Amino acid sequence: MAPTLKTNTLAAGQLAAALLALRARTPLVHCLTNTVVAGLTANVLLAAGAAPAMTDNAAEAAGFAARAGAVLVNLGTPYADTTQAMSCAIIGAQDAGVPWVLDPVGGGALPWRTALARAWLADGRPAIVRGNASEILGLAGGAGGKGVDSTAAADDALTAAVELARRQRCVVAVSGAVDLITDGARLARMGNGSPLLTRVSGTGCALGALMAALAAVEPDALVAASAATALLTVAAERAAQHSAGPGSFAVALIDALYALQPEALAASTRFV
């Protein structure tokens, strides 16, 4: 499969331009996400330059999604009523042409939510699906991990990611020490980051939210997902330099997202 993919054809300047557009437009990002990371997600979006709003009840989700710049659907802590709101938001987004991002947390490992995610993919077309290797493998039919953390390396999920991207005509992002982002024809392999990202709860979920924020301002979803990945992982490298552990790292990460300028992003992004 790999030979048929055009690899690392994006220019860092495209990512910088997407960040510039984010800062200029402050898109409303409608997040239906889990209760563990909602606060971090909102703060990451605010620091990066987006306007987050978490409206995850069924009475309001469809109408709100239609007016948003982008929608995030994250399956970290699904409940009966919030999953109904997610279904409404997806319909509202699609009908209005608003891009939406699916983060199938626990996909594969947990049957109920995996079935929910597959049903949404059967009926709809997200701009981006983001997960770790276990989740992407699980969503595509593999066994999944032991919980919400990845037990597979990103490269293990490449074939599944490409097939999913081609079937759904969307971008699939596999997060890990190396980040893989593909639309089925192109592949970005990105190598920034810090091991401390795995010691702070919700950094993967926040990455999904950043992908939604970038998809609100950048029509090429491969560029949007890659720019979001570069933004979080380059900020993480800077934050790690000022951290004594995961507590101070999480604080410095927000500061670094706020401070990171498009030119610096372009200069630091590594395709590998």
Residues that bind its own copies (CB under 8 A): 28, 34-40, 42-43, 46-47, 51-57, 59-60, 63-64, 67-68, 76-82, 106, 110-113, 146-149, 198-202, 243-248, 250-259
Please identify, using beta-carbon distances, which residue of 9 and 95 lies nearer to its own copies. Answer: 95
Distance spanning both ends of the chain, measured CA to CA:
18
Helices (H) and strands (E) counted in the chain, each on its own, are 11, 9
Q: Taking the complex as a whole, how short is the minimal distance between the CB of residue 62 and its own copies, in angstroms?
A: 11
Secondary structure in 3-state letters for 7-28: ECCCCHHHHHHHHHHHHHHCCE
Q: Taking the complex as a whole, how short is the minimal distance between the CB of residue 46 and its own copies, in angstroms?
A: 5
Q: Taking the complex as a whole, how short is the minimal distance between the CB of residue 182 and its own copies, in angstroms?
A: 27
Q: Taking the complex as a whole, how short is the minimal distance between the CB of residue 43 and its own copies, in angstroms?
A: 5
Which residue pairs from 245-250 have beta carbons closer than 8 angstroms and sit at least 24 positions apart in sequence? 245/196, 245/199, 246/196, 246/199, 246/200, 249/194, 249/196, 249/199, 249/200, 250/40, 250/200
Please identify, using beta-carbon distances, which residue of 83 and 168 lies nearer to its own copies. Answer: 83
Q: Taking the complex as a whole, how short is the minimal distance between the CB of residue 50 and its own copies, in angstroms?
A: 11
The rounded distance, in Å, linking the Cα atoms of 40 and 78 is 18
The rounded distance, in Å, linking the Cα atoms of 173 and 159 is 12
Please identify, using beta-carbon distances, which residue of 104 and 184 lies nearer to its own copies. Answer: 104
Compute and round to an integer the Cα radius of gyration of the chain.
17
Please identify, using beta-carbon distances, which residue of 3 and 244 lies nearer to its own copies. Answer: 244
The rounded distance, in Å, linking the Cα atoms of 179 and 207 is 11
Q: Taking the complex as a whole, how short is the minimal distance between the CB of residue 16 and its own copies, in angstroms?
A: 20
Cβ atoms of residues 254 and 43 within 8 Å: yes
Q: Using the structure block, give the residue that is written with the tokens 């987050």.
A: 52
Please identify, using beta-carbon distances, which residue of 14 and 55 lies nearer to its own copies. Answer: 55
Q: Nearest to residue 179, comparing CAs of 158, 201, 206?
A: 158
